[in-house]
Amino acid sequence: MNIRGNEDLWVEIQANTFRNWVNEHLKEAGMQVSDWTTDFCDGTHLCALVENLQKKPLKPSWIRRPGNQHQFLENATIALNAVEGDGIKLETLTLLTGTSLIVRYQIGRSKFPPRKLMLAWLQAALPECKITNLTTDWNSGINLSALLDYCEPGLFPHWRNIDPSQSIRNCTTAMNIAQREFGIPKVLEPEYLASPWLDELSGMTYLSYFMKPGGPGYNATMRWVNSQIKAPVSNFTTDWNDGRVFCEIINGLGGAAPEAEKLNLHHSYWESNIKKAVDAGQSLGVKPILTPKDMANPEVEHLGIMAYAAHMQWIPPRPPLSQMLTVHLESTSGRVGEPTYFRVDIFSREIEMSSVRAFIVPPTGVPQSVKLSGNGQGVYVPDKYGMHEIVLEVGEDKLPGHFFRVLPRFLHVAPPGMAPCALGSLVEVLV
């Protein structure tokens, strides 16, 4: 966005966002900032803010009622040293340096650009909205309304019918609902969200409340994930490191990932487990935001996995293998030593014949592999009589249930004949 000539509007929006964000974090301390250029002078507001952001008391303790410049400086030094320990160097608190606090404590520190991760999740959660940025795409209020409906289906079902020309009204309505239903604070005024001069940091700050741990967007994606797996997860970080959740979800959607129960869960295999799942997911059209190595790291940024999971929501479930493959037998019975012919037919474009493996399970229970021709023809010569089963495999999926009976070899026993005798004579027949 070109802000040249409108720098004052851009600064006004960002300053307003920063002040509102600070006041949101000072509520517990009973403090409020009206002019951030002067209200931080004695260090008390800054110390209270840092304690709230770090979720722990500052050490050494700060002076609650400073009475001179020396004590003002002492408070400021304590607070600045604390945030420096989190990797933020602030010599003074200005609008520019204050944004570092928002990025670190609100949006999250990561080796990946926060903007990229936030956009990835929003694009995954709202594919119909075609989101490309965190500024002008939100001016009309339509995308925010769609986000509310994603977080709680049915909360804003008519978002597609909103008049985009009524941007301030739309933003006001959506932000009021977000505050009422989810407790999302208005760190950004509706007029500023609707402004074409909305700065990216202000947009990121407001939207981050939806996707932070425990936020409504976070919870919505988590609900979908837990609807797909047997054992529920509680986060988008450590619960995913060993690869089991990835494999279980992708398998459920029809991907050929390894079965979660068969994975080696030693930490040295985590990256390999995830890579197998990711490869299977790509065949379904889902590309990861992070690498398998990153996702196997317990310190992984939650938005990367959260965005990947949200992308999977929209994969149409693959039909069961029984609807994509079938077996035709020339006869449902045969004999030992005689060839039994069968043919595999494919009804789905998702499956290639080269990926289909066929096995015959004889009465002994030990599967025997049968090579299929390019058109699915298979031949098997049984050496045991009894019931046999044809089992097809595609990746980790199996299609059993096609049986044929094998009869014993057909033996022709020639009778020994009878000794000649005279017509009319008595003959003794021994049976």
pLDDT band at 379 (very low <50, low <70, confident <90, very high): very high
> CA 42 → CA 39, 266, 307, distances in Å?
7, 53, 42
Helix (H) or strand (E) holding 356, with range, is strand 356-361
CA dist 308 and 317 (Å) reads 16
Which residue, 392, 346, 307, is CA-closest to 125? Answer: 307
Please determine, for residue 157, whether its predicted confidence score (pLDDT) is greater than 90. Answer: yes
Average pLDDT over residues 21-27: 92
Token pair for 322: 């029984």
225 vs 330 pLDDT, higher one: 225
400 and 384, same structural domain?
yes
Token pair for 68: 């001179």
| 16 inside domain | yes
191 and 137, same structural domain?
yes
In sequence order, the 6+-apart residues with CB closer than 8 A to the CB of 23 are 32, 33
Query: Which of 65, 81, 108 is the last residue in one of the domains?
Result: 108
Q: DSSP letters along 67-123, please?
A: -SHHHHHHHHHHHHHHHHTTT---SS--HHHHHHHIIIIIII--SS-HHHHHHHHHH
Residue 344 φ/ψ, nearest 5 degrees: -100, 125
In this prediction, residue 103 carries a pLDDT of 79
CA dist 49 and 39 (Å) reads 12
Please answer whether residues 126 and 150 qualify as being in contact, where contact means their C-beta atoms are separated by less than 8 angstroms: yes
CA dist 431 and 416 (Å) reads 13
In this prediction, residue 39 carries a pLDDT of 87
151 vs 8 pLDDT, higher one: 151
292 and 365, same structural domain?
no
pLDDT band at 71 (very low <50, low <70, confident <90, very high): very high
In this prediction, residue 1 carries a pLDDT of 46
| 216 inside domain | no
pLDDT tens across 275-308, in order?
A: 999 999 998 889 998 999 999 999 999 999 999 9
Please determine, for residue 99, whether its predicted confidence score (pLDDT) is greater than 80. Answer: no
Please answer whether residues 43 and 78 qualify as being in contact, where contact means their C-beta atoms are separated by less than 8 angstroms: yes
Please answer whether residues 140 and 164 qualify as being in contact, where contact means their C-beta atoms are separated by less than 8 angstroms: yes
Please determine, for residue 415, whether its predicted confidence score (pLDDT) is greater than 70. Answer: no
| 426 inside domain | no
Please determine, for residue 3, whether its predicted confidence score (pLDDT) is greater than 50. Answer: no
166 and 86, same structural domain?
no
Please determine, for residue 126, whether its predicted confidence score (pLDDT) is greater than 80. Answer: yes
Please determine, for residue 218, whether its predicted confidence score (pLDDT) is greater than 50. Answer: yes
Q: pTM for this structure?
A: 0.76
How many domains in the chain? 4
> CA 301 → CA 32, 64, 125, 213, distances in Å?
31, 36, 17, 11
Please answer whether residues 211 and 118 qualify as being in contact, where contact means their C-beta atoms are separated by less than 8 angstroms: yes
Can you say how many angstroms the Cα of residue 41 is from the centroid of all Cα atoms in its chain?
Answer: 45
| 206 inside domain | yes
Domain of residue 130, CATH code: 1.10.418.10
Residue span of the structural domain in which 203 resides: 114-211
- 305: which strand partners? none
In this prediction, residue 234 carries a pLDDT of 97
In this prediction, residue 165 carries a pLDDT of 96
| 417 inside domain | no
pLDDT tens across 11-20, in order?
A: 888 888 989 9
169 and 153, same structural domain?
yes
pLDDT band at 37 (very low <50, low <70, confident <90, very high): confident
Give the rounded percent of residues in the chain with a pLDDT score beyond 70.
Answer: 93
CA torsion 298-304-305-311 (nearest 10°) is: -170
In this prediction, residue 94 carries a pLDDT of 63
99 and 19, same structural domain?
yes
Average pLDDT over residues 35-55: 90
In this prediction, residue 93 carries a pLDDT of 63
Domain of residue 340, CATH code: 2.60.40.1930
Please determine, for residue 96, whether its predicted confidence score (pLDDT) is greater than 80. Answer: no
| 126 inside domain | yes
In this prediction, residue 251 carries a pLDDT of 87
Please determine, for residue 273, whether its predicted confidence score (pLDDT) is greater than 90. Answer: yes
In sequence order, the 6+-apart residues with CB closer than 8 A to the CB of 10 are 3, 197, 199
In this prediction, residue 431 carries a pLDDT of 59
69 and 149, same structural domain?
no
Please determine, for residue 243, whether its predicted confidence score (pLDDT) is greater than 80. Answer: yes
In this prediction, residue 413 carries a pLDDT of 62
118 and 94, same structural domain?
no
Averaged pLDDT score across all residues of the chain:
90
pLDDT tens across 127-141, in order?
A: 999 999 999 999 999
pLDDT tens across 301-343, in order?
A: 999 999 999 999 998 877 778 888 999 998 888 999 999 999 9
Which residue, 43, 26, 29, 23, is CA-closest to 93? Answer: 43
In this prediction, residue 91 carries a pLDDT of 60
